[in-house]
Structure 1
């Protein structure tokens, strides 16, 4: 790629070999804008055919689409405003959430919630215009009108002004973003696969229902797990009264607010962000922190996290300081990650608008615990798995940031 001088008619970054200025064109000059329609739902002969028929709700994060949820017959197509759209058409939702896009990988049609873009073969590259989804969305939201819901018309989309290079340069840019999107998708799938593995392990490495041992165990561990109560795990500590007003980026104490157990920290607390000069309730490494309230639901409230940092001040939580034969990370993964155990504690939550959890309510609930060596083996496994998931998520974020930067510099 070369970096040309910044002129109004050329982007900041271009591929080598392209020097001609971009031209201002209306979208309707380089593509046909086609709406859709819905056959009568009262006539069964119009439905359950072999023609794909898309509704806006089906368009989300996918790039290509090749099969709709509902399909219509040839009779349904003829007796409605729906039109067959060729492969390479950009589906563009025009109401009830303007600007969701996808590329047709198979001839299809849509309902009236679209103004689809059919590129002229010698003037517009499909992936080039698809890569400008955010620009199309902003335009649609700006010019759209309506009292019940905002909608953008085909005529309005046709009048959209765009800076356009030659088809050869469009194709080159489209190929770049297609490859980048494929790479992002690849890493996202790796994240999803790891998350599925973790979800399965959280159910199978801990006992379910009336089992005394889990379905899957690490080698060399065969002893029965021993039933215990949360009150026997360790000492209960009450939370402090810190608030956002008490935060100070130059404060001498690290601090954790209860809301961070839902947003910042998952199972493990480390790399603490907030600081304060005010004392709350001191927690140390291996302490298990439980948030005491939420406005969501009881299951969400069961979101403990274990301290893996040396110490911090807390607020809005109660904590359990485990005895020496208890691994706090193990208790956290078991309590929050295992559906059976989490659900058992959630039944003790109180309140409707604001749901509360108190130590006194869960202290007599039971939990099965193996010896310390097996506890540590299990928690270490999940800790390493979490690190691997985080690594893959960072790769996805890095690629998305690269894409965002290129979108800003490769288009006008």
Structure 2
């Protein structure tokens, strides 16, 4: 029998806090600390840590609390509705109202899916002028319908089996990406390629394209509907997924100058953090464009590169190699707040080797099967995600029988 409960009856609702960023000894410790930004590009269910750890002294300096493994994190502002499960003890900043579940009443994985199902309803309860926020009092009083614990586990197992496969495909794709990077290194870094010339990225890039953000809905002359790639979307695209790409509306006159094509590259030029540089990159493939089914641009916090024919794989992997070796930090400006990548200097001043076309074509033939597999797995994940999202409201509404759950 399903019954109605307030969230406060199912566990403790816990907020978070940020230790003073001006006190160096509060950061770099062993305590995992998560912010909503950490979840913006996180695609799994179980999170181990964020971008930064804090020390015990940092934890004790503010009102942040160490949440036990199994706690369900829910971002309560900027934005509302990111959900993850703590894989290990974790603290959060003030952007969360997390649930430490009473395991006699509620299963953590079921609660994860239940909060995702109720995300829009909870978001509508937010208040505030600068940005919406859900208060602790509001979160505690949110009512949800809950089946008995055994049925919760059966429902969570159905949805979890789909996410298990999605996460497995993503791990496979990450391994394939590592294989591609290892091949690049063996061909062009460990042994200097024959028939190569010294040069710069700009020698093999036709042009760069600026981004756009447009409007959220059609307004005036902003009528051209597009998908817009943000820096946060790059990890998903690298795994062959479309992720959480937003739809925007831009000026028709801008579309032809900003529209992305097969083999273009998108680079994040603004953002980053003290431990993560700007410069993340993804490759625009025919498979991705076909999957999206509408025009694609990048946001104005990114820049698109149009390589000369046949050099897309090479630039993509060379760029990723430099990123992995922290080269991008040396091309950033701005020491506080948002950092910006000086992409003009990078493509004109960073010395590289440029193989001849024959070598590049041989390399592309080797790489193609790897990238085909990455995008095959990405397509499968799209289908699995669609099935999960179709089942979620049906299961959470109690529309499936025990026989179906079994």
Fold-level similarity (TM above 0.5): yes
| Deviations 1:195-236 (CA, angstroms, capped at 9, x unpaired) | 23224434553589xx8x52xxxxxxxxx537799xxxxxxx
**How far 1:398 sits from its partner (Å)?**
2.2
Which of residues 137, 150, 153 is equivalent to 1:171?
Answer: 153
Normalized per residue, the structure richer in helix is 2
* CA distance in 2: counterparts of 1:53 and 1:151, whole angstroms: 20
Partner residue, 1:409:
394
Which of 301, 304, 307 is the matching residue for 1:300?
Answer: 304
Q: Among residues 8, 31, 48, which one is paired with 2:11 in the alignment? A: 31
- What's the counterpart of residue 73 of structure 1? 56
> What 5-or-longer segments of structure 2 have no aligned partner?
200-222, 225-255, 266-282, 291-296, 321-342, 344-352, 398-406
Report the alpha carbon displacement of residue 62 of structure 1 after superposing the two structures with TM. Answer: 3.9
Does residue 383 in structure 1 map to residue 368 in structure 2? Answer: yes
SS in 2 for 1:174: helix
| Higher alpha-carbon Rg | 1
1:152 to 134, 139, 142: 134
Residue pairs, 1:200-215, within 5 angstroms: 200-202=182-184, 204-206=186-188, 214=193
- Determine the structure 1 residue equivalent to 2:117: 135
| 8 A Cα contact 1:48 1:73, kept in partner | no
TM-score between the two structures when normalised by the length of structure 2: 0.57
Structure 1 contact 34–116 (Cα < 8 Å) conserved: yes
CA displacement at 1:388 relative to structure 2: 1.8
Three-state SS of the structure 1 residue aligned to 2:261 is helix
Q: What does 1:258-337 align with in structure 2 at a 5 Å threshold?
A: 259-261=259-261, 300-304=304-308, 329=310, 333-334=313-314
SS in 1 for 2:116: helix
Write the deviation string for residues 314-358 of structure 1: whole angstroms up to 9, x where unpaired. Answer: xxxxxxxxxxxxxxx5x5645666559xxxxxxxxxxxxxx9xxx
Which blocks of at least 5 consecutive residues in structure 1 are unaligned? 1-19, 215-223, 230-243, 246-256, 274-292, 306-328, 341-354, 356-365
**Which residue of structure 1 aligns with residue 91 of structure 2?**
109
Equivalent residues of 2:263, 2:285 under 8 A apart: no
CA gap 1:66/1:378 in 2 versus in 1, 3 angstroms: closer
Task: Indicate how the Cα distance of structure 1 residues 267 and 401 shifts in structure 2: closer, same or farther if over 3 A, else same.
Answer: closer
Aligned partners of 1:227, 1:164: CA distance in 2, in Å? 66
CA distance in 2, matches of 1:228, 1:84: 52
How many angstroms apart in 1 are the aligned matches of 2:362 and 2:25? 61
Does the CA contact (< 8 Å) of 2:64 and 2:93 recur in 1? yes
Q: Is the 8 A contact 1:50 1:72 kept in 2?
A: yes
Q: 1:225 pairs with 195, 206, 213, which one? A: 195
Residue 83 to residue 395, structure 1, CA distance change in 2 (3 Å): same
Contact 2:31 2:56 in 1 (8 A): yes
